[in-house]
Amino acid sequence: MADVNRGNRPLSPHLQVYRPQLTSISSILTRITGNALLLAALMIVWWFLAAATSPEYFATADAVVRSWFGDLVMLGSVWAIWYHLLAGVRHMIWDEAKMLEIDSAEMLGWGVIIGSVLLTLFTIIVV
């Protein structure tokens, strides 16, 4: 039974009234990058299995991996690896009960984002 005194307010912070913070967005991105890395790993495993199966099957898998889609997945994987690594370091800092203040936490969030982009660019240039 609904509370009549509640009025027309949402029951909890709702997407229409909630303003996401950098820390919540970066937390969601950590989960997304973890799942994206799993999909990229499955694509690489498929490529290896195709290589062990037959030349025709390998040609098909190789065409997908070397296509623009495969390049995009691999580039995204490089960024996801760096992002996931830096986000893990950020969580280790938080596990030590350090940099938990809002300003420090946001600085770490920007550090993870900017650091992952710079390390991805470095990886592309060097490799």
Q: Is residue 91 marked as binding?
A: no
* Tokens 């913070």 belong to residue: 21
Single-letter amino acid code for the residue at 26: S
Measure CA 25 to chain center: 10
Contacts for 38 with CB less than 8 Å, ≥ 6 apart? none
Q: Pick from 37, 33, 21: which is nearest to 102 by CA?
A: 21
Token code pair at residue 93: 């800092």
* Tokens 């240039």 belong to residue: 125
Write out the binding residues: 84
Write out the binding residues for heme: 84
